[in-house]
Structure 1
Amino acid sequence: MCGIYGTTITYSDNQIKSKLERTAFRGPDKMDWKSYNYNDATITFGHNRLSIIDLDPRSNQPFNYLDKINIVFNGEIYNFQELRKRLSQKGYVFNTTSDTEVICAAYLEFGKKCLDHLNGMFAFVIYDIRKQQFFGARDRLGQKPFYYYLNGKEFEFSSQISSIQLFNEKRLTISTNAIREYLSWGTIPDPNSIFNEIKKLQAGHYFTYDLNTGKFKNEEYWDIDYLGKYKFTGTYDEATLELEKIAKDAVKMRLFADVPVGVFLSGGVDSSLIAALATKSTNEKIKTFSVKFNEKGFDESIYAKQVADHLNTDHHIIECNYKEGIELIDDFHHYYDEPFNDSSAIPSMLLAKYTKKHVTVALSGDAGDESFIGYHRYNWVRHMNNIYKMPKPLRLLAAKTLNIMPHYKLKVIGGVIHNKSVNDAYLSTLYSPESNWFEFEQTNKLHFEELKYLYHENKNVFERVSDFDIKTYLNWDINTKVDRATMAYSLEARAPLLDYRIVEFARSLPTDFKFQNKNQKRILKDVLYKHVPKEIFDRPKAGFTMPFKEWFKADLKDYVLTELNFENLSEIPGIKPKEVIKMINQHMDGSWNRTGLIWQLIILRQWLKNNGQGFSIK
């Protein structure tokens, strides 16, 4: 787990050093850069290393292999030992015990097809000396970030946008379209970024860049089976055994490291399963970590402790209060680089901060909800699906009636069921449906390429929304949140349920294996119950959230009213300050929960204040 950087643009050594220092938190163990001459030009590769596998300096990057290629790599290849054996049999010689060297040999052996052989989370760029080209890729599900600037023969890339941003005021402009997308969706969807000229390499894609011509080619190498071609034909019991087998292997692979490893344990199904399988995969006592909030309804730590006690782990509970929360908010822009609206990033950062004191790698339960239909909103889809079977006039009458009701939640429901289809209704729950506070027209929700995963008839609605969330919410939100939160404290997060074998297997299963009646994540739970008593989980599902609703009206009220006063709101492009202030007042008097809006604007205001100087907005 590291930070990578590279450029064909000429910068001074001090400028390169500054670019690497800007994201040194991603890899504090070793910072280095090297320049390579080709024709009459120069390439620079840089790297911030967080040493996880083969701690010896011989595995430092930028890494040269056989004088044929140079590489900078961020992430982990979990099956590198198996792949190394296969490549050794083909005559490749290895001088390290790192996965970096294995990527190099795999590239020389298989070319771009090397990606089919890698099981891991990664973003890397190879400089192929003979071909005079870059070959780069991002993992299948977008766990590791990759940003790039491209303008002919000017090419610059990095793990985080801030490294490219430095010394580039003349090249970059802040995107009004990105701000509009952020205000609508809470994030900036791939491949866009907050700057017009910087793009994200999409998950499951690779690129080639010809250094002589400046030609850039971007192609997809992996995708989920959204057409429903592959179907599991065995019994439910057979599927349960197969899932457990794959999950055990995924966990075991991710426990391998030359540094201490632990597990994030929320007490929910997903993280409890990972913790249970981890304890069965090693003779060492597993360290587990959870967050505790004092506010009623937000403290899940008691359930995490029950699981930890049953599994006999070395459990650590981290307490969070608003004072520490506000400190993390103030530093948020430094680590997240772009406006980002998921407030659970704060407890994620807190969890990472304290976990790092004990381990350098932590396994998480991310991706269980998307793959196995676990979110509350999927149960909501079940109700909506029935509502959309009603005659249209009756449904529209119900929507109109709800819209005039006094309670804001009823108004929201009325707005949702007013949509033309259940697909549109689901989509409207993911972006901001209100636009009366926008100066510009709201983002057209129908312009995303990823909508193809939702708008088709090859699968039922539950499978479609699950596919859509894997390609959007999981990638754009969850993976971004976890990567930045953990790397802020030089902690590597690994997610066994994001193993592409599990994702592909889940996509092949019949829906009722995952969601039967009201039983969500059915098959995942049944694997878990083999290891942890079912009674511990006999409770409503809880999300990983902070009590911002209460804090914004009490402990953080002055902070909110100061940060989002009329003057500061007037500096945010695209919004109507008077309308926003009305909405903030609704939150303060308790008539409408505006937590999302308040957090969203605090983060945007903070980013513009700390990053907007010197850049024009277009």
Structure 2
Amino acid sequence: MCGIYGSTILYNESEVTSKLKRTSFRGPDKLDFKYVNDKVVFGHNRLAIVDLDKRSNQPFTYKNIHIVFNGEIFNFKTLREDLIKLGFEFHTTSDTEVVCAAYLAYKEDCVRHFNGMFAFVIYDTETNTFFGARDRLGQKPFYYYHNGKDFEFASQISSIQLYNSNLTISEKSIGNYLAWGNIPDPNSIFNEVKKLKAGYTFKFSLNTGDFSTNQYWDIDYLGNNKFKGSYNEAVNELDDLLTDATSIRMFADVPVGVFLSGGIDSSLIAALAAKSSSNKIKTFSVKFDEKGFDESIYAKKVATHLQTEHHEIHCNSDEGIDLIHNFSKYYDEPFADSSAIPSMLLSKHTRKHVTVALSGDAGDENYIGYSRYQNNFGKRLFKLPLPLRSITGQALSTLPNYKMNVVGKALKLKDVETYYLNSLIGIDHDWFDKNSDVFDFPERKYLFHDKKDIYERMSNFDLKTYLNWDINTKVDRASMAFSLEARSPIMDYRAVEFANSLPSNFKMENGNQKRILKDILFKYVPEAYFNRPKAGFTMPFSEWFRDNLKDYVLEELSPSELKNIPLINQTEVTKRIQQHMDGSWNRYPLIWKLLVLKQWLNTNGKNYSIK
């Protein structure tokens, strides 16, 4: 796990060093860069995980190619043996060298051989081209700037931002951020900087300046490949798949642990890690003082059962506030998932014990796990004819009752798919001015079709959007802020493809969500431990914003300060902040979203125009 950088704009050594130092937290073990043929500069911040020897430092050269690589190839040992049979020689025990040899052996198809999380760029001096890729699920970030001639890339946008005077802030991206709480791929906060989409490769010709991308992987969202076996056969096959996915992610030349919240997904990964290891595994959970937010007792029960070396990380408001003030240093474009703060706290303290941590991310997206998938209001609502719903909705919209207004707006929506999209950003979104269609992105195709039932389509849509845009961004920045590598076995593409082939009732039956994951987990941990409602990984922001942080919120989001935030309806926002403070409505997600955007604009807004 590292930070990568490269450019055909030949910044001087001091400038390149500054760009790498800006994200040195991603890889504190070695900062290095080199100029190649007076055409290219490649840079790297290394977090040493596999083959700790300096021989595996990057930028790395193998025959006629140079590489900077971020991430891990978990099947690199098997792939290495295959390449040896083809005549390739290796002088390290790293996966970086395997990526190089695989490129020479398979060219652009090399990515299809990789099971991992990665973002890399190869400079092929024979063809004078860049070839790069991002992993299938988008676990590792990749930003790039291309002006038709020059090309610059980095793991985080701030490295590109330094010394680049040709950037403008995207008004469209601000609008999307206000809607989604993040900036959907392939866009970024700057008009001129893009993100390589998950499951894509790219090529850039230094001779012509031409840039092109190609999708090498996608889920089978139309349901063409269906599992033919029984439920019990599916349970056993998935158990084997996830066991292997966990086992190969435990390989490292540094200590490895497991994030354990006590929920279904993290408990399953902890159980499989314990099963795969001959040593006692280390587990880590967060403990809050506030009642209703602390679930550490459940994690401790699972840890005791699995006989792990368990660590409870106590979170208080003072430490949380410190991370809030420094949030934009690590999340260097606006990002509003408030669970980033406990994720950072968990990573900060976990790093004191291990360098790699396994997580249970992607269980909800792959196995119909979110509570919003069981919205009975939405299911009943759209059985009614649209004309009837519209008339009723119009009547409710005129009532003074706020909740009835929201229901009225929902009633007037076209169909259940449109209702689902709107529910994700909030049915009541009159507080911001949509400067463009915030639902205008190609990922709509995963939701708007009739080849799968609505639960599968919502799940697939979230896998391609929420998981990539939000969850993976959150986990990457939170863990890398403290030089910790996070790995998710449930995101092994083999397991994702298998889950996607299963019928809905294997994942949810009679309201029992994540059915198949639970039946695997209950082989290893008693079912009674999980007889409680599902809980998200959240912080007590709702209380903090009315208590410890009330003065901070009211000062930062005063009417005069709100004037500096574009695309919002100041009157409506002020009303919602007051609703939160008087306890009539929980508005902490909106407050946090605005605080994050304002913090970023305070740092960057004066240097760039908004277009």
> Which TM-score band applies after superposition, normalised by the shorter structure?
over 0.9
Determine which of 65, 85, 107 is the counterpart of 1:69.
65
Give per-residue Cα distances to partners, 1:85-117, cap 9 Å, x unaligned: 000011100000000000000000000110110
Name the counterpart of 2:14.
Answer: 14
**How far 1:259 sits from its partner (Å)?**
0.2
Give per-residue Cα distances to partners, 1:57-76, cap 9 Å, x unaligned: 0000000002x100000000
Determine which of 490, 495, 517 is the counterpart of 1:524.
517
Name the counterpart of 2:161.
Answer: 165
Q: Distance in 2 between matches of 1:412 and 1:268?
A: 32
**How far 1:224 sits from its partner (Å)?**
0.4
Name the counterpart of 2:106.
Answer: 110
**How far 1:402 sits from its partner (Å)?**
5.7
Q: Distance in 1 between matches of 2:400 and 2:290?
A: 28
Q: Distance in 1 between matches of 2:572 and 2:438?
A: 23
Q: Distance in 2 between matches of 1:406 and 1:540?
A: 33
Letter in 1 for 2:579: Q
SS at match of 2:214: strand
| CA shift in 2, pair 1:437/1:379, >3 Å | closer
**How far 1:568 sits from its partner (Å)?**
1.8
1:552-571 → structure 2 map (5 Å cutoff)? 552-571=545-564
Determine which of 141, 146, 152 is the counterpart of 1:145.
141
| CA shift in 2, pair 1:486/1:532, >3 Å | same
Determine which of 395, 416, 423 is the counterpart of 2:417.
423
Q: Distance in 2 between matches of 1:575 and 1:444?
A: 15
Name the counterpart of 1:479.
Answer: 472
SS at match of 1:613: helix
SS at match of 2:424: coil
1:157-196 → structure 2 map (5 Å cutoff)? 157-168=153-164, 170-196=165-191
Q: Distance in 2 between matches of 1:307 and 1:58?
A: 41
| CA shift in 2, pair 1:196/1:491, >3 Å | same
Q: Distance in 2 between matches of 1:591 and 1:379?
A: 26
| CA shift in 2, pair 1:134/1:270, >3 Å | same
**How far 1:221 sits from its partner (Å)?**
0.4
Q: Distance in 2 between matches of 1:394 and 1:474?
A: 36
**How far 1:566 sits from its partner (Å)?**
2.0
- Is the 8 Å Cα contact of residues 406 and 428 (structure 2) preserved in structure 1? no
Give unmatched runs, 5+ long, in structure 1.
none
Identity %: 63
Q: Distance in 2 between matches of 1:312 and 1:252?
A: 18
**How far 1:227 sits from its partner (Å)?**
1.0
Determine which of 539, 553, 557 is the counterpart of 2:532.
539
Name the counterpart of 1:332.
Answer: 327
SS at match of 2:31: strand
Name the counterpart of 1:281.
Answer: 276
Letter in 1 for 2:115: N
Determine which of 219, 222, 234 is the counterpart of 1:227.
222
Q: Distance in 1 between matches of 2:495 and 2:524?
A: 19
Name the counterpart of 1:577.
Answer: 570
SS at match of 1:572: coil
SS at match of 1:366: coil
**How far 1:432 sits from its partner (Å)?**
4.0
Count matched residues: 611
Which segment is superposed worse, 547-556 or 420-429?
Answer: 547-556
**How far 1:387 sits from its partner (Å)?**
2.6
Determine which of 210, 223, 237 is the counterpart of 1:215.
210
- Is the 8 Å Cα contact of residues 2 and 47 (structure 1) preserved in structure 2? yes
SS at match of 2:536: coil
| CA shift in 2, pair 1:173/1:109, >3 Å | same
Name the counterpart of 1:617.
Answer: 610
Letter in 2 for 1:283: S
**How far 1:410 sits from its partner (Å)?**
5.2
Q: Distance in 1 between matches of 2:390 and 2:547?
A: 39
**How far 1:506 sits from its partner (Å)?**
0.7
| CA shift in 2, pair 1:186/1:2, >3 Å | same
Name the counterpart of 2:507.
Answer: 514
**How far 1:448 sits from its partner (Å)?**
0.5
- Is the 8 Å Cα contact of residues 184 and 443 (structure 1) preserved in structure 2? no
1:382-531 → structure 2 map (5 Å cutoff)? 383-396=377-390, 399=393, 403=397, 408-409=402-403, 411-438=405-432, 440-531=433-524
Determine which of 47, 53, 56 is the counterpart of 2:53.
56
TM-score, with length taken from structure 2: 0.98
1:355 aligns with 2:350: yes
- Is the 8 Å Cα contact of residues 176 and 438 (structure 2) preserved in structure 1? no
1:591 aligns with 2:584: yes
Q: Distance in 2 between matches of 1:243 and 1:435?
A: 40
Give per-residue Cα distances to partners, 1:252-282, cap 9 Å, x unaligned: 0000000000000000000000000000001
Which segment is superposed worse, 484-493 or 394-403?
Answer: 394-403
Name the counterpart of 1:47.
Answer: 44
Q: Distance in 2 between matches of 1:124 and 1:105?
A: 14
- Is the 8 Å Cα contact of residues 408 and 591 (structure 1) preserved in structure 2? no
Q: Distance in 2 between matches of 1:309 and 1:106?
A: 43
Which segment is superposed worse, 395-404 or 45-54?
Answer: 395-404
- Is the 8 Å Cα contact of residues 399 and 414 (structure 1) preserved in structure 2? yes
**How far 1:571 sits from its partner (Å)?**
1.2
| CA shift in 2, pair 1:455/1:559, >3 Å | same
- Is the 8 Å Cα contact of residues 71 and 124 (structure 1) preserved in structure 2? yes
Give per-residue Cα distances to partners, 1:270-313, cap 9 Å, x unaligned: 00000000000011111000011111111110100010000000
**How far 1:366 sits from its partner (Å)?**
0.1
Name the counterpart of 1:343.
Answer: 338
Letter in 1 for 2:285: S
Q: What's the Cα RMSD here?
A: 1.4
Give unmatched runs, 5+ long, in structure 2.
none
Letter in 2 for 1:220: Q
Name the counterpart of 2:83.
Answer: 87
Q: Distance in 2 between matches of 1:152 and 1:566?
A: 42
TM-score, with length taken from structure 1: 0.97
- Is the 8 Å Cα contact of residues 435 and 442 (structure 1) preserved in structure 2? no
Letter in 2 for 1:257: A
Q: Distance in 1 between matches of 2:453 and 2:609?
A: 46
1:231-380 → structure 2 map (5 Å cutoff)? 231-380=226-375
Give per-residue Cα distances to partners, 1:528-574, cap 9 Å, x unaligned: 00000000000000000111111111111001001111222111122
| CA shift in 2, pair 1:445/1:180, >3 Å | closer
**How far 1:404 sits from its partner (Å)?**
6.3
**How far 1:7 sits from its partner (Å)?**
0.3
**How far 1:445 sits from its partner (Å)?**
3.5
- Is the 8 Å Cα contact of residues 10 and 42 (structure 1) preserved in structure 2? yes
Q: Distance in 1 between matches of 2:590 and 2:553?
A: 11
